Amino acid sequence: MSECWVPAGATVCELCGTFKSDSVTHIVAENNSGSDVLEWLQLQNIKASSEFELLDISWLIECMGAGKPVEMAGRHQLVVRRNPSLSPVPGSQTVPPPPMQKISQYACQRRTTLNNHNQLFTDAFDILAENYEFRENEVSCLPFMRAASVLKSLSFPIVSMKDIEGIPCLGDKVKCVIEGIIEDGESSEVKAVLNDERYKSFKLFTSVFGVGLKTAEKWFRMGFRTLSKIKSDKSLRFTHMQKAGFLYYEDLVSCVNRAEAEAVSMLVKEAVVAFLPDALVTMTGGFRRGKMTGHDVDFLITSPEATEEEEQQLLHKVTNFWRQQGLLLYCDIIESTFEKFKLPSRKVDALDHFQKCFLILKLHRGLVRSEESGQQEGKDWKAIRVDLVMCPYERRAFALLGWTGSRQFERDLRRYATHERKMMLDNHALYDKTKRVFLEAESEEEIFAHLGLDYIEPWERNA
């Protein structure tokens, strides 16, 4: 064994390397697999604990560089292959998975929490899918997106190729990546993507608010590789959205934490009810699914009593109110094109036609009940991305379901409706093609019931 450290306050004593295991939280190794570490612990007669995190030295190096513990990602975790001779570690990857149950190909029939036992694989799939998305190759992108979604739902970690037998949505390319990670601890294909100049440039360019694939392609072909060069080039013309994206870049690329999201929620609710007292304001997106961080905060607004004119004017009134308060940094209102009796879209990724507003709000530090407010030194506010959606009251259940996500959950929900129930579903409505009728719903539970599905809670939709 090359090196092994226990940096979280553990006591190492004598030449045998024993330590007080009840005080250990992280074990960091260099050039060793998780199996090597566990075997070494057993040889030293050290009882393994479920509290151990088995990590590569890269995690410790990143911590030292940041001057604080960094979040553990799949690339940091050491792979443990099943070995009957090793003592089992509760929660570790040496525990064999439970008997395989039939797993649905549809995310809407799987319960997927934030407890991902296969992050090493799903992180790899996400990178490969993103690379194909940057190349607008949907055919190659989807298999990796679906594979990541399936593995996120598993209640056990994959440690051998035998573990994936009978699991749907795992094609030959996906299995090849899984096998590479099991054998080597990483994927050569993923490594190549992360080192690819085009991928790195697209990743950087699209991190700017308002920059899509077309613009990223244009900048890459022009020879740009850094944002500083782009900003300093006098020949380029930026949209209003892109100008805001560059101006507030550091704030917008940093994660919004839950405390900040809750503070924004208070601002939104106070402003909305000031003009529409009976309005219902619901935080949607990842925060509704239980996530602790996100890149923006989404809200669905509806009112049981508002007239059509009051609905149309609300977002304008609210944004004008924030503008007068000096809180509005950017605003783009998209007017409604919703038609009451229009059939749901056949496209699984179709956007809705409700009135919506894409904002950047100034959130003052004093409003955030958390020390982790992510503010720059000497600055008492942070720019936060906020999306507001105004929908008719009778369509609130469909809009809430659609805006809660996750993206893959919604895609599969619409695919299931089409292929298994002969229905059409989007953020506006559910249509039964056999009976030729719109199916009404007062809640998400009723939509699931119409589709013949068990209801899945928002926190179980992290597909």
Give catalytic residues, as residue numbers: 296, 298, 387
The whole-angstrom separation of Cα 313 and Cα 304 is: 16
User: Burial of 350 by CB count in 10 Å (0-12 exposed, 13-18 middle, 19+ buried)?
Assistant: middle
Instruction: Specify whether the backbone of 12 is left (phi greater than 0), alpha (psi in -120 to 50) or beta.
Output: beta
Tokens representing 87 are 């003592």
Closest to 174 in 3D by CA, of 138, 134, 126: 126
114 Cβ neighbours under 8 A, 6+ residues apart: 289, 290, 291, 459, 462
Angstrom CA distances, 70 to 27, 96, 200, stand at: 15, 30, 22
Burial class (CB in 10 A: 0-12, 13-18, 19+), 34: buried
Q: In a 3-state reduction of DSSP, which class is residue 19?
A: strand
> Is the CB of residue 404 less than 8 Å from the CB of residue 298?
no
Q: Which of 81, 32, 73 is nearest to 179 (CA)?
A: 81
Q: How far apart are CA 3 and CA 30, in angstroms?
A: 6
**Using omega within 30 degrees of 0 as the cis cutoff, is the peptide bond preceding 406 cis?**
yes
Q: Which residue has the tokens 């469909």?
A: 398
State the pairing for strand pair 26-30/53-56: parallel
Give dist(CA 113, CA 372) in Å, integer.
24
What number of residues does the chain have? 463
* 49 CB-near residues (< 8 Å, 6+ apart): 21, 22, 24, 89
Q: Which residue has the tokens 């809200």?
A: 299
